[in-house]
């Protein structure tokens, strides 16, 4: 795992490298979505490749490393438009780091030139849409991506209220980030973020006032810190339609873990008492054991994980099975109990049943017929509401079966009366 390599090299510690990997594996939401979220998790994986080659380039400025960094910069941008944020921050920091050092800037000029030239080359050959008219089509591509995303209107269940995705408060993704990360990671992250802010102010003060160049680790830390802060700021400021929790920002999770690991390293180096170090280690092991147990117990519904600080409240006041993963098990249950050759079903939410029907065995797939909710025998409700949706079935249908996580229904199937 490349992230393990990054942590191990950055902090010169196998223990911290292994800990960072466990933080990833035992983060229920990230683990669950690794199986079916083909965009946000893929983008997060590309981001890890990108920061790995960025760190490698900082420590060894060979031309081959420049080319690899340029390649993964382009892949990041091609994957999602948000890739522009970390790439722009890297370029800005790299150039300004040598702005007052003319002799060093000359030495870096060739590398900067290679980065730009190969970046243009890779973005052209990896994006066939650009071949006919690169500049114009690049503009239209980004413009259409933004317009399509902003035109989506869904209902979010947020703090016990249904709110249209274009009317979400500024703290929507920040809150989702806080309540869905394992508790030990969020504690370490908050402490590490305070440490990062302090170090950033100190480093920038020295850099700006005395013109001292950033060393490789300082540069890398600043890059990750600013990428995290600016990403949240930009989506809060400019992203009108917000939905799906913070999944669009999953690529920041490696940074959150990095900042957590950074605090552990700082704590270990500053605190000489083995008693406190052992206590922190115990808390980490205890919490990871809990998330591991919870993930096994509630498989495959790890997506509805909330940390222990928010679990009791969040399960009743926030969206749960966004992806409709539980629909598959609901269909299996209906097929098992209902022996009719043809069974009509309707989704009682905006989550489509089609992906779940497609993965059924062919003989069962032919038995399931999608219908409108006024005529279906079964209505499958994973609680994800449509805008202005009439829930008439709660009077005309009986509750037939439920899937529970921590005692809360994440999906309910209703059967027509009589």
Q: What is the pLDDT along the chain (418 residues), one digit of tens a residue?
A: 799 999 999 999 999 999 999 999 999 999 999 998 888 999 999 999 999 999 999 999 888 999 999 999 999 998 888 899 999 999 999 888 866 565 566 677 788 888 889 988 998 888 887 778 777 777 777 777 666 667 777 888 999 988 888 889 999 999 999 999 999 999 999 999 999 999 999 888 877 666 667 889 999 999 999 999 999 988 887 777 888 899 999 999 999 999 999 999 999 988 877 888 889 999 999 999 999 999 999 999 999 999 999 999 999 999 999 888 899 999 999 999 998 999 999 888 888 888 888 889 888 889 998 888 778 899 898 888 765 555 666 677 888 999 999 999 999 999 988 7
Sign of CA dihedral 186, 191, 195, 201: positive
Task: Name the one residue in this structure whose structure tokens are 């196998």.
Answer: 14
Q: What is the pTM of this model?
A: 0.91
Quick check: 367 and 171 in contact, CB under 8 A?
A: no
Spell out the residues 6+ positions from residue 240 whose beta carbon is closer than 8 angstroms to its own.
150, 166
Quick check: 7 and 22 in contact, CB under 8 A?
A: no
Spell out the residues 6+ positions from residue 370 whose beta carbon is closer than 8 angstroms to its own.
344, 345, 346, 353, 354, 357
CA 307 to chain CA centroid, Å, is 16
Q: What is the rounded CA–CA span in Å between residue 279 and residue 276?
A: 5
* Total residue count of the chain as it appears in this document: 418
- The CA–CA distances, whole Å, from 86 to 14, 67, 108, 220, 226 equal 27, 17, 20, 12, 8
The pair of structure tokens assigned to 399 is 């509750």
Q: What is the rounded CA–CA span in Å between residue 64 and residue 350?
A: 48
- The CA–CA distances, whole Å, from 136 to 119, 122, 130 equal 17, 17, 8
Q: What is the rounded CA–CA span in Å between residue 418 and residue 416?
A: 7
- The ranges assigned to domains in the chain are 2-296, 326-416
The pair of structure tokens assigned to 340 is 């009719």
Q: What is the 3-state secondary structure (H, E, C) of the chain?
A: CHHHHHHHHHHCCHHHHHHHHHHHHCCHHHHHHCCCCCCHHHHHHHHHHHHHHHHHHHHCCCHHHHHHHHHHHHHHHHHCHHHHHHHHHHHHHHHHHCCCCHHHHHHHHHHHHHHHHHHHHHHHHCCHHHCCCHHHHHHHHHHHHHHHHHHCCCEEEECCEEEEHHHCCCCHHHHHHHHHCCHHHHHHHHHHHHHHHHHHHHHHHHHHHHCCCCCHHHHHHHHHHHHHHHHHHHHHHHCCCCCCCCHHHHHHHHHHHHHHHHHHHHHHHHCCCHHHHHHHHHHHHHHHHHHHHHHHHCCCCHHHCCCCCCHHHHHHHECCCCCCCHHHHHHHHHHHHCCCCCEEEEECCCCCCHHHHHCCCHHHHCCEEECCCCCCCEEEECCCCCCCCCCCHHHHEEEEEEEEECCEEEEEEEEECC
């Amino acid at each position: 795992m490349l992230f393990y390599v990054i942590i191990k090299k950055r902090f010169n510690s196998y223990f911290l490298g292994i800990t960072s990997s466990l933080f990833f594996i035992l983060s229920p939401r990230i683990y669950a979505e690794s199986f079916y979220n083909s965009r946000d998790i893929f983008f997060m994986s590309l981001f890890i490749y990108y920061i790995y080659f960025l760190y490698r380039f900082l420590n060894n400025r060979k031309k081959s490393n420049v080319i690899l960094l340029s390649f993964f910069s382009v892949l990041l941008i091609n994957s999602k438009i948000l890739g522009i944020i970390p790439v722009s921050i890297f370029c800005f920091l790299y150039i300004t780091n040598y702005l007052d050092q003319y002799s060093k800037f000359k030495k870096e000029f060739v590398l900067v030139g290679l980065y730009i030239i190969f970046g243009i080359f890779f973005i052209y050959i990896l994006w066939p849409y650009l071949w006919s008219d690169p500049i114009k089509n690049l503009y239209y591509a980004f413009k259409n991506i933004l317009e399509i995303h902003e035109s989506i209107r869904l209902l979010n269940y947020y703090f016990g209220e249904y709110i249209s995705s274009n009317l979400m408060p500024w703290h929507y993704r920040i809150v989702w980030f806080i309540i869905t990360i394992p508790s030990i990671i969020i504690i370490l992250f908050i402490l590490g973020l305070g440490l990062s802010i302090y170090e950033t102010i100190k480093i920038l003060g020295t850099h700006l006032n005395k013109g001292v160049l950033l060393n490789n680790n300082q540069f890398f830390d600043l890059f990750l810190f600013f990428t995290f802060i600016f990403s949240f700021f930009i989506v809060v400021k400019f992203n009108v339609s917000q939905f799906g929790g913070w999944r669009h920002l999953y690529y920041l999770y490696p940074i959150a873990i990095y900042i957590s690991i950074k605090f552990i390293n700082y704590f270990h180096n500053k605190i000489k008492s083995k008693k406190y170090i052992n206590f922190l280690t115990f808390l980490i092991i205890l919490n990871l054991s809990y998330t591991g147990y919870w993930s096994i117990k509630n498989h495959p519904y790890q997506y509805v994980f909330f940390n222990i600080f928010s679990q009791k409240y969040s399960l009743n006041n926030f969206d749960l099975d966004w992806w409709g993963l539980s629909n598959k098990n609901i269909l299996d249950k209906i097929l098992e109990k209902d022996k009719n050759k043809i069974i009509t079903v309707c989704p009682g939410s905006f989550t489509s049943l089609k992906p779940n029907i497609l993965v059924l065995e062919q003989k069962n797939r032919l038995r399931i017929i999608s219908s409108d909710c006024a005529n279906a025998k079964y209505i499958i409700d994973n609680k994800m509401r449509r805008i202005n949706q009439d829930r008439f079935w709660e009077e005309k249908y009986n509750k037939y079966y439920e899937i529970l996580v921590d005692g809360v229904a994440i999906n309910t199937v209703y059967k027509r009366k009589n």
